[in-house]
Each structure stands twice: as C-alpha cells, then as structure tokens.
Structure 1
Amino acid sequence: MSNEKPKTISSISDSNSSSIFYPIISIIGLIFLWWAVVEAFDIPEYVLPGPFATFHEIILDWPELWHGFTSTGQEFVYGFIIGSLVGFVLAVIMANSKLLNKILYPIMIVSQAIPVIAIGAALVIWLGFGLAPKLVIIALIVFFPVLINVLDGLQSVDVDMLNLSKAMGANRWRIFLTVQLPATYVPLFSALKMSATFSVTGAVLAEQTASSQAGLGQYMMAQASRLNTKGTFAAIILFAIMGLLAFSLVSVWERLATPWKQHSKVPFYRQARIAHRDIPSSQVK
C-alpha cells in the first residue's frame, strides 16, 4: 500500500508557485548576464545594446511595436491553428489507410525538404501579398511535427485494447474516440509545444518574404536597415515573449487535457524510489 500523502491545497500552491518562480529567476539571470557582458567588454551600443537601452527603446516606440506585435500575433495564431488541424487530420487519414500512408508520406517529407523562403516566393506569385501566403508558410512549418507525432501515437495503440473494444461491440467511431484519440494526446502536445516556437520563426520568415503590411518582422527589418540595433533587439525581445506565451498556453492546455501526466514533474531518480516504496514488503525478496 502506498504511503504517499495526499496533496493538500498548500502543497499544490507551493508547486504552482515554484513553476512560476524558477522561470522568472531564469529570465532575470539571463538579463543580468546580458548586462554584465555588455559592461565587462564595453561593447558599443550599435553592436550590442544593453538591456536597459533596449527596454527604453521598447517604451519609446511602443505604439508601433504593439501594432506589429498584434499583427504578427494574429498571423501566428491563425497559421498555428490551421497547421495543427491539417497535420492532425492527415495523421488520422494516413493511420487508417495503408495505401494513403504510402502515397502521402513521401510527399510530406518532400514538402519539408524545400526551403521555406523558396516556397514563400512561389506563394507570393500565386496568392499575392497579404495574409494568405503568410498563413500557408506558418502552417507548413507547424503541420509536419503534428503529423509525425500524431501518426506515431495512432500507430502505437495497444492491439489488445483495439481487439477488446471490437469484442465489446464498439463501432469504428467509438474506438477512435475512446482508444485511438487518447493515445495521441502525449505526442500531440509534444508536437504542439515544438510548433508553438517554430511558428514564431515561421511568422518572421513569412513577413520577410510575403508581407506588405506592418508586422513585427517588417519592423525588425526596417530597423536593421537603418542600423538601429536597439530597435532590432526590441523586436527580438517581443518575438521571444510571443514564443513564451504560445508555449505556456499549450502547456496549460496539456495539463488540463492530460491530468494523468502529472507524474512527469517528479524527477526520474525519485520515481524509482517511489515505485520501490509502493511495492508490498511481501513481494520484496
């Protein structure tokens, strides 16, 4: 019988506090290291501005930066959703059809081998400047990790569980909802967390190749062309914030959708001790 104590409100609160505390400390440490490097090596501001100069630039140019942040954020969200849905649907189709799997898998690999910038140039010719080519570029970056991870999850479903469900009279749709779909949760959220950061990069590339509107990527390129390093770093910081927000939102969604995965918070060396402690003494030789 397990001797593990039930979680109390205070223990849950402490756990949540620590999950917020350590990332904040890491960010503060990174900013301090940035400042220390600039001061220690006396790096000119036009080469590497310090954190205070960069934050001051953000405050001074906040209206334009915020407009670019919201514009790029909209592209990021739409492209992320489209790419995730396309990847998930394709994975389900390929997992349920060996013929389509053999036909589509090489095409999916080839789509990732072509440089995104080259695809962006073609998309501008086909779709023109505007929102559509940018969404396609972001979706192309997002869908492949989702496709591969969900496909692996569907193909690794326990055969005994499938046979048991069929023996109990479950139809194909019921089997998908109760057996196959839950098997995709862990790999799906792993892919979504990767894609959340990749799609920020995709948004930058999309604005560099297929944008005529004032997004954050356009702002960054404009500042770089003027040799305004502070403005360039201001945009980089906002891109980093966008990526952190996206990753955090997916992580929160993962916790809500997969409550059984909370054991992963326990370090691996403690998991072994807990497992050994929970074995009845009569079974221990």
Structure 2
Amino acid sequence: MKKRLPKGWSPFVVLLLLLSLWEIIVRLADVPEWFLPSPTAILHEAITGWSNFSGHMFSTVQLAVLGFIIGTSIGLLTAMLLHVVPFLREAVYPLLILSQNIPIIVLAPLLVVWFGFGLLPKLIVITLVCFFPITIAALDGFKQTPQDLKTYMMMAGASSKQLFWKLELPYSLSSLFSGIKISATYSVMGAVISEWLGAQTGIGVYMTLASSSFRTDRVFVAIFAIMIISMLFFAIIRIAEKRFIRWRIKEEEKE
C-alpha cells in the first residue's frame, strides 16, 4: 500500500526541492554571492543579522496591521453604502475600478508632496491597496443572498435594516473573508512600498540599503520575510474565517 504525504505538506516538499536545486546550481556553477547567494548563505545572514533586521521587520508589521485595519474598515463601509444606495453604486463603482488602474508606485511620490514624510502617506498607500478587494468581495457577497429567504423575511415584516443585518451581511461573510485574505497579503507589500517613501525603519528601508551596498543575501532575507509575514497574515484570517462562518463551511463541505 502506497504511503501518501499528509494533507497540506505537498507545497512544502516542492519548496524544499526547489531550494535544494537552487543550492546545487549555485554551488556547482560557482555563482558569486553578490549576484545570487545560495539558500544556506541567505539563512546564515538571516540568523547572524537578526538583531539588525528584527527592528525593521516589526516596524513593517505594525504599519501593515494598522493600514490593513483602516483599509478593511473603509472597504466594508464603502461596500455597505454602495449596497444600500443603488444610485450611488452605479455612479461610484466605475470610479473604484479606475482607481485600481493607477500604479501605487507612481502615486506614492505625489502623496509625499501632498502630505509630507510622516505616517499619513504610508497609511494612504496601504489603504488604497487593501480597500478595493474588500469592497468588491462584500458587494458580491450581498448579492449572493438567496432570494427566497429575502422574500420570506419581507413577508414576515422585516425592515430593510433587519434584512441587511440579519440576512444579507451574514451571507456575505464567505465572500467578505475572501477579500480580507487578499487584502491581508496586499497590506504587507503596501507597507514595504510605503516605506520607500522615506521611512527611517522597515523592511523597505532595509531592502534599499542592502541593494545599494550589493548585499544580495540581505535582499533575499527581506523577500523571504515578506513572504512569511504575508502567509502568517493569511493563516490568521483563515482561522478567523473558520470561527465566524462554521455553518457556511459545513454547507460547502456537504455540497
């Protein structure tokens, strides 16, 4: 009888194989470390340089969490407003789409000109990348409410307010959490981009200093840190999703 890997371990095996292949190629080809360091060299730098890197990492995490909370709140409030006021949705929805066609890296310097080098422009950058997935996901979730349940509640005398809070919002949680998971990962990259605006600490600052000094190993340390933080954010939101909508997950598993 063939033995199979435990569920969820396949990506880690593939990642381990890729890192091993990377290590072998770099060593056999004798690639200079400044050009492409080996995974072991990157790991060594992460361990020995942790005292210097940890402060930058925690600064980015704090900024990402704060921006994510603001972006999530604005995105959800925007979706609720557009759902309740159909005319406003028709007028604003196209503008939301257009707002995502503006490259953040181009808009960032303008935010510095308008708001200076403080915390505000950084939070604006993170909010811009976070609120859109949540707004779109929530709007789609509101539309997924079964029409027969809405008709039943209306026949029972439910008001529009009760219809929204007791039926439409609960049914939108599955879609809403999908948007939140996307925004959680975007918030980390948004924080790093915002730190390029002129921050004193953060992974973005660490990457800039490492690139200018040709410390490619430190650049990769920053890249892997961003990936790990993003995955941790995703995992936390996933755990929260299972707690909030257990009933919906059970329904999907039955289907």
TM alignment of 1:99-178, pairs within 5 A: 99-178=87-166
Which residue, 176, 181, 186 being the options, matches 1:198? 186
Change (3 A) 1:128 1:35: same
C-alpha separation in 1, matches of 2:104 and 2:203: 19
Q: Secondary structure, in 3 states, of the residue corresponding to 1:184?
A: helix
C-alpha separation in 2, matches of 1:109 and 1:203: 22
| Runs of 4 or more above 6 Å deviation | none
Given residue 223 of structure 2, which amino acid in structure 1 is its aligned partner?
I
For each residue in 1:167-222, what CA deviation from the matched residue of structure 2 results, as whole angstroms up to 9, or x when unmatched? 112233322122101221111111122222222221221111x2322111110111
Q: 1:87 Cα shift? A: 0.9
The answer to whether the aligner puts 1:249 opposite 2:236 as a matched pair is yes
C-alpha separation in 2, matches of 1:19 and 1:186: 23
Given residue 225 of structure 2, which amino acid in structure 1 is its aligned partner?
L
C-alpha separation in 1, matches of 2:11 and 2:235: 11
Size of the alignment, in residue pairs?
250
Identical columns (%): 35
* Counterpart contact for 2:115–2:121, Cα < 8 Å: yes
Given residue 114 of structure 1, which amino acid in structure 2 is its aligned partner?
I
Give the RMSD, CA atoms, in angstroms. Answer: 2.1
* Counterpart contact for 1:130–1:213, Cα < 8 Å: no
For each residue in 1:220-247, what CA deviation from the matched residue of structure 2 results, as whole angstroms up to 9, or x when unmatched? 1110011111111111111111111111
Given residue 238 of structure 2, which amino acid in structure 1 is its aligned partner?
S
C-alpha separation in 2, matches of 1:257 and 1:120: 36
TM-score, with normalisation over the residues of structure 1? 0.81
Structure with higher Rg: it is: 1
Q: 1:23 Cα shift? A: 4.9
* Counterpart contact for 2:68–2:130, Cα < 8 Å: yes
Q: Who is 2:31 aligned against?
A: 43
Change (3 A) 1:79 1:45: same
C-alpha separation in 1, matches of 2:251 and 2:162: 28
TM alignment of 1:256-271, pairs within 5 A: 256-259=243-246, 260-262=248-250
* Counterpart contact for 1:131–1:211, Cα < 8 Å: no
TM-score, with normalisation over the residues of structure 2? 0.90
Q: Secondary structure, in 3 states, of the residue corresponding to 2:145?
A: coil
Unaligned runs of 5+ in 2: none
Change (3 A) 1:99 1:117: same
TM alignment of 1:167-246, pairs within 5 A: 167-208=155-196, 210-246=197-233
Q: Secondary structure, in 3 states, of the residue corresponding to 2:100?
A: helix
* Counterpart contact for 1:71–1:215, Cα < 8 Å: yes
Q: Secondary structure, in 3 states, of the residue corresponding to 2:32?
A: coil
Unaligned runs of 5+ in 1: 1-16, 276-285
